[in-house]
Structure 1
Amino acid sequence: MSNWLTIATALSSAVIRIASFIFLRWIPGHPFPPMILTCSGIYLSSTFLLLGPANEEPAVEATQAKTTKADKSRTKPRKHGSTEKSFISALLIGVPSKKKVFATALNILINLALTGFTLDFLYRGRILYPTDDLSFSRIGYVSPTTANLLVREPHVSNFPVTIKYQEATQSDTDYWTEEGKIYQLNAAKDFTFPVTIKNLKPSTQYRYTLSNNQTGTFITAPQSGTQSANRLSFLTSSCIKPNFPYKAFSHPLRILGLEQVSHAIKKLPSLNRPSFMLFLGDFIYIDVPLRHGSSLEEYRAEYRRVYSSPSWHEPADERPIDLPWIHTMDDHEIANDWDKGNMTHPYPEAADPFNLYHVSVNPPIPPLSYATPENTTYFSFIQGPASIFMLDTRTYRTTPNLPNSTILGYAQLNSLLAFISRPEPAEVKWKIIASSVPFTKNWRVGTQDTWGGFLDERRLVLEALWRAERELGVRIVLLSGDRHEFGATRFPDPSYELTSNELASDTADAYGIHEFSVGPLNMFYLPIRSYRQTDSEDIMVKYVPDGNVKFGQIDIDLYDGTGGVSDVLLENLEGPHSVLTYSLHVDGKVVWKYQLSIPLLPDEIGTGSKARLPPGKVLFDEARLRGWGLQEQIGYVEEKARIFWDDVKERIAPFLNWERKEMRVD
């Protein structure tokens, strides 16, 4: 019996320690909490039994205890090093002993502390920081003459809520313009209300104030056709989980990534201050580490919990809440790898708070939408030199890897193709397409959840992108998130018939449409490498998996060849160019910079010929790839598993397609 108890104690102690480290510092997966709590119960029970009276060692008879002088002379004193080794061994094994009281007590305290940390991570924020009373305001989409403002106010005593604004150059005592009043809010919309502040001046900083003591600032977009419209800066990222990696003495709702964004903005010159954050999904993690429910209230509470983070207001002189945020949806705002349509539970419950907190102050829907406005969850807007299309890759998708699989749905696909082929105003030189999941198929883990599971539709979109670059005089950039890693990929136009050197992953002549996929803003990453190039269709430009906080900074500016800092970086360009610089921030540092450009002379672009746009160039690289080097094995296993699963799905495809039509409104 004692031997079995010893084995149970040692194993449960080892599981508690290993699983706690993985769960709290590495990846907060849902299998770990029940594993840790179960093993904690086993450990405490077996420890009690081992130390209890039932396991008293039998008394040693006095005659057996006597030793002769010769025996004593042969007995050697125990060395200090041996005692130290015994103590460390006892700590590592975790088995209690009445002879090693201190080591036993320390073992029990360590395992109890790790169990407590697990419970603290799971429940402290939920129990000690309820969000029903959350009152806040934030800025969403900002145009040259308007600003969308979201207000949440649950306290009846604060109504009516008056909204006022003024230019930031005015003093607080100067005249304020009243936009309007909110007389009542109720639980039907979780006490939220979107307000559009109108009649604003382009390229002007404003402050706003609400009668419930909520305040903030924002800067309007430039007017098209003006000099300032040649420039645009913005940020992009994805994936937020408060207080991860876990820190015991940190606020349970702290989001370090938000604070690092603000510190990065403070270091930028005023001309490069970002106009907005383009956030590409997984704003909440409803199912990580544990799903506590799938009700409407549970989903709403998750959004309130993120917006209750003190990090939105730190530091006070550059608050993240004052940066306009615009959003797309991804799976963890619904359920992991969601592909069951927009009428299946829990999608309706998940979509409600996403619409209230994000869509209500997002940019407008595409002007040529192929669906009714109330069923359109993708957005399009022009700001400065860029025309941006924000995809919804969750709401309308079907099962991947089938002959007629779709990630966008009929209406959204046609809206996207119309956007791609649409001629833009003369000042717009960039089309930017934002997707919550990567276009590249180079991620060998979970490929079917990306555009890699919808290769026919991806090919259709890529052909439209290549054609647009050849014929419209614009350059196209793809932005995505989801992977908790950074990957830059290029997709060369086959019609250019590039040489093998030009198709190499490490070439200086990086031709093709580029994708920059980045995340997380505050979440885990894995040292196991999952990105791997397998062909000449998706060519790796850069892969940076490490970092719990990652975001991209996009700066578009006009290079006219007249001198300045840009000459050092772009000395090989002749004539005026519009230049896009992508800067990768990892854990508070810029580790990689990359540049794309497009010539502005009419005879160089838009001719329909096969003249290539300038290749991308690496400007700065301090990112070092470290890890376990297991990508080959992971890719092999996943590809074999996918082949088997694809075969199974093809056999049941007719049933799946019928079911999908019943569960998806497009």
Structure 2
Amino acid sequence: MAATLAIASSALSTLYRIVVYLFLEVAPISRAKYVIPVLYLGYLLTSYLGTPAFSEILTLKQEVVTVEQEKSETNGNVVTDVSVQETTAVIPVVEPPTLRSALSTIIFSVPSPVRALRRANLLINTLLLLAVAEFVFFPYFDSATDVVYTRVGAIYPDAAKVVVRYPAANATENLVRLVWRQADGKNQSEVPWREGPIANLTAERDWVQTVNLRGLWPNTPYEYRFEDLNNTLLPYPSAPIRFHTAPDPRLHSGSHFRFIASSCMTPNFPYLPLQGRRIKGLDLLADYLWPSESQSAAASLPTVIAQNVSSALSSLASKATASGNSTSAENATAPIMPPTNVTHEVAADQSVPPTEFMVFMGDFIYADVPIYFGDDAEAYRRLYRRNYNSPSFRKVYERLPIIHTYDDHEIINNYAGLGNTSLPPYPNATNAFELYNAEANYDPIDEGQYYFDFRYGDAAFFVMDTRRYRSDIFSDEPTSHTMLGDKQLAALYNWLGKVNNTAVFKFVVSSVPFTALWTYEALEDTWAAFPYEKSALLSAFQSVPNVIVLSGDRHEFAAIEFAAGDNGHNVLEISTSPMSMFYVPFIRTLKPRSEEVVNRTREEVVKTEDGKEEVVKVVEEVPREKVVKYIAEGNYKWSTLEVDTRDYDHPVVRVEIMIDGKPAYNLEVLGKPVKLQSTTALGSLMPQFKGVLDKIGLKPSRWF
């Protein structure tokens, strides 16, 4: 019985360690927080009741006893007669363990008669339990109520939104004034500060306020800081915060800028002891965006020259590729590409413009991972404060404007709002999201909504709300299921109509993947669960040139191409996550292509019977959706998108995928030339959606 309990103790200990490792280093599955204490208690009980099974061979010590007896003879002589009696005593002796056996005992929890090794196993398992407790409960005890921070959100050509949190001691409100000036770098100390808006910070709003700084010039650097109403400089920020306004989109001079796209982050995962505020992915992002001066200076002159030559050759190659797609007779032997985006892998280009902003595509917090602390407002606000209290995040948000959408983990896993804003936990969850992230976004299209659009130069963005109006896919008819709701859907169609010929590249931001190639849980949580609405949207996207969908959620990277017919435009999706969270090793849930196909015509040169060459049209079937590139590995992922429309005949988006701080993949998207105009009427672009618009009371005939 004792030996059986010792083996059970070893098995429970080993299983316990495996589950702890998976929970802290692989994926913080919520159910594990219940399994781990049970396994630990089982290990303690069996260890206490069981006697360790002896794995060593015992040494047997034998003792021999000799007895001498005297015997008298009759003649008076004494003769000694020796009688020998052997007695064997068995004494168990445990040999000291070797280094190899001791390590095996510690690593694999092998039963051992050595008390010190048993105590070492107990100590290790207890420390693992404490690590789990720190990871689970640190977000609750680290309330970050005193965090002070500021950041820039939406940047317009003539304005910017600034968030500030400045709690006051023993008060219910705190008034701080933003002061600002232009930051041209020349005699900066002599440039006077100008008074800006006053932030009315209250305890009711968790000391957070977003203010609008207006009256700025396009494409101009500025800096700001804070004072009290007595014009006394406040200690934070210690140095002025700088930002750069957006270019004027009415000036069609071309754009050249970069932005970051990613989603999904939580502090201290994978877990490290006593690092509860660290978000390693943001540390890596900060190093990527602003490398140290020593690293910059390390580049030798030959390296710089080689980089410039490489950039020039890449530019020439792009133009040559675009020219090669001509339909002229001189290029008849080349395959005819549809009027669409062309994508191909390229080498990384080191000549890049500054990064202007970041689009964070949801799961900014994990309200229910590793534990759900309830749906009250403070439970959600605490997690936002924790992120803004992270020194890793501070290195980024104090220098880079960030705009946000939200996804399910800002609320609860796989949340579907059903259009009911009073359904818990939505009110308290979105209250925190609004205070900390949403108010700093661009102004919503419709008041009180979280979907919005914005421009940066001649690139246009539409950011979806994929949770508030999402239907319950397990009820009603599938044809009635919606992710966006009628009003948001109409706003998206209207935006497509306006940007069709007024912007070169159009970026549609979805917190969940648009493709249906992901399986498993994605079949219920992504656009795959809304096939009818997705099909209508895809048709709309393919009627507009240069549409790129940006998404996150899956904790993997994938580039997906949606093929169009002869009269449409291909659509590309770049799905990137996590910024700093888990990925699942070994298990892959992305199919390489869809079973659904589209017909596309290409021209082919054939020889006739008389030996002449003739161009014939060939109809081929291609997958409607196919994977261009898929990378699942990596806890820290983001995409850098470089938009370059300075040459309107050859607009391009260069995509660089960074994984764990290192370049992993580069993609170049060659756009269609767009003759920019002032506006495009929605009705002429997509008359097939008239029924949807009429349903919500909008009359397309009035928009011409």
TM-score if structure 2 supplies the norm length? 0.72
Report SS of the residue matched to 2:490: helix
- Of the three residues 548, 553, 557, the one matched with 1:477 is 548
Q: Which whole-Å CA distance do the structure 1 matches of 2:674 and 2:14 have between them?
A: 67
Please tell me whether residue 430 in structure 1 is matched to residue 505 in structure 2.
yes
- Of the three residues 528, 545, 556, the one matched with 2:643 is 556
Q: Deviations over 1:158-194 (max 9, x none)?
A: 9431211112225245310110323x42232221111
Residue 380 of structure 1: how far off its partner (Å): 0.4
Q: Deviations over 1:206-242 (max 9, x none)?
A: 1110123234111111112447652231110000110
- Mark the runs of 5 or more structure 1 residues left unpaired by the alignment: 58-63, 469-473, 498-510, 561-574, 608-666
- Of the three residues 526, 535, 553, the one matched with 1:450 is 526
Report SS of the residue matched to 2:560: strand
Q: Which whole-Å CA distance do the structure 2 matches of 1:270 and 1:378 have between them?
A: 34
Please tell me whether residue 490 in structure 1 is matched to residue 561 in structure 2.
yes
Are the equivalent residues in 2 in contact too, given 1:134–1:153 (CA < 8 A)? yes
Residue 544 of structure 1: how far off its partner (Å): 0.5
CA distance 1:411–1:227, shift in 2 (3 Å): closer
Matches within 5 A, 1:277-296: 277-296=358-377
Residue 435 of structure 1: how far off its partner (Å): 0.1
Are the equivalent residues in 2 in contact too, given 1:261–1:320 (CA < 8 A)? no
Q: Deviations over 1:586-619 (max 9, x none)?
A: 111111111112243759xx99xxxxxxxxxxxx
CA distance 1:294–1:159, shift in 2 (3 Å): closer
Report SS of the residue matched to 2:479: coil
1:105 partner letter: R
Q: Deviations over 1:253-276 (max 9, x none)?
A: 111111211211125989621111
Please tell me whether residue 399 in structure 1 is matched to residue 478 in structure 2.
no
Please tell me whether residue 276 in structure 1 is matched to residue 361 in structure 2.
no
Partner of 2:581: 523
Are the equivalent residues in 2 in contact too, given 1:485–1:546 (CA < 8 A)? yes
Report SS of the residue matched to 1:114: helix
CA distance 1:252–1:445, shift in 2 (3 Å): same
Residue 115 of structure 1: how far off its partner (Å): 1.0
Are the equivalent residues in 2 in contact too, given 1:222–1:229 (CA < 8 A)? no
Please tell me whether residue 260 in structure 1 is matched to residue 284 in structure 2.
yes
Q: Which whole-Å CA distance do the structure 1 matches of 2:668 and 2:87 have between them?
A: 82
- Of the three residues 102, 105, 109, the one matched with 1:90 is 105
- Of the three residues 438, 443, 446, the one matched with 1:364 is 443
Partner of 2:694: none
Are the equivalent residues in 1 in contact too, given 2:460–2:499 (CA < 8 A)? no
CA distance 1:462–1:101, shift in 2 (3 Å): same
Report SS of the residue matched to 2:198: strand
Q: Deviations over 1:127-172 (max 9, x none)?
A: 2x33112221111000111010011122157943121111222524
Q: Which whole-Å CA distance do the structure 2 matches of 1:78 and 1:190 have between them?
A: 65
- Of the three residues 178, 193, 196, the one matched with 2:212 is 196
1:361 partner letter: A
- Of the three residues 124, 127, 142, the one matched with 1:110 is 124
Are the equivalent residues in 2 in contact too, given 1:150–1:195 (CA < 8 A)? yes
Partner of 1:160: 175
Partner of 1:411: 487
CA distance 1:95–1:601, shift in 2 (3 Å): closer
Q: Which whole-Å CA distance do the structure 1 matches of 2:87 and 2:153 have between them?
A: 85
Q: Which whole-Å CA distance do the structure 1 matches of 2:507 and 2:108 have between them?
A: 56
Q: Which whole-Å CA distance do the structure 2 matches of 1:554 and 1:587 have between them?
A: 17
CA distance 1:288–1:477, shift in 2 (3 Å): same
CA distance 1:269–1:180, shift in 2 (3 Å): farther
CA distance 1:391–1:71, shift in 2 (3 Å): farther
Number of aligned residues = 547
Report SS of the residue matched to 1:286: coil
Q: Which whole-Å CA distance do the structure 1 matches of 2:437 and 2:214 have between them?
A: 19
Residue 71 of structure 1: how far off its partner (Å): 12
CA distance 1:203–1:602, shift in 2 (3 Å): closer
Q: Deviations over 1:329-380 (max 9, x none)?
A: 10000110111433311011111011111111101223xx5xxx12x22010
CA distance 1:89–1:599, shift in 2 (3 Å): closer
1:476 partner letter: V
Between stretches 429-438 and 271-280, larger displacement belongs to 271-280
- Mark the runs of 5 or more structure 2 residues left unpaired by the alignment: 55-59, 66-85, 228-233, 292-348, 596-622, 681-704
Between stretches 542-551 and 355-364, larger displacement belongs to 355-364
What RMSD in Å do the two structures reach over aligned CA positions? 3.1
Please tell me whether residue 381 in structure 1 is matched to residue 454 in structure 2.
yes
Structure number with bigger Rg = 2
Q: Which whole-Å CA distance do the structure 2 matches of 1:602 and 1:137 have between them?
A: 40
Residue 3 of structure 1: how far off its partner (Å): 4.3
Q: Deviations over 1:440-472 (max 9, x none)?
A: 01111212200000010000001111122xxxx
Q: Which whole-Å CA distance do the structure 1 matches of 2:626 and 2:119 have between them?
A: 56
Higher normalized helix content (fraction of residues): 1
Matches within 5 A, 1:37-186: 37-50=37-50, 66=62, 83=98, 86-94=101-109, 96-97=111-112, 99-127=113-141, 129-156=142-169, 159-168=174-183, 169=185, 170-172=187-189, 174-182=191-199, 184-186=200-202
Residue 56 of structure 1: how far off its partner (Å): 13
Q: Which whole-Å CA distance do the structure 1 matches of 2:452 and 2:675 have between them?
A: 30
Between stretches 398-407 and 356-365, larger displacement belongs to 398-407
Q: Deviations over 1:542-566 (max 9, x none)?
A: 0001111000011111364xxxxxx
The share of aligned pairs that are identical, in percent, is 32
1:181 partner letter: I
Q: Which whole-Å CA distance do the structure 2 matches of 1:111 and 1:600 have between them?
A: 63
Q: Which whole-Å CA distance do the structure 1 matches of 2:205 and 2:370 have between them?
A: 27
Partner of 1:6: 6
Partner of 2:613: none
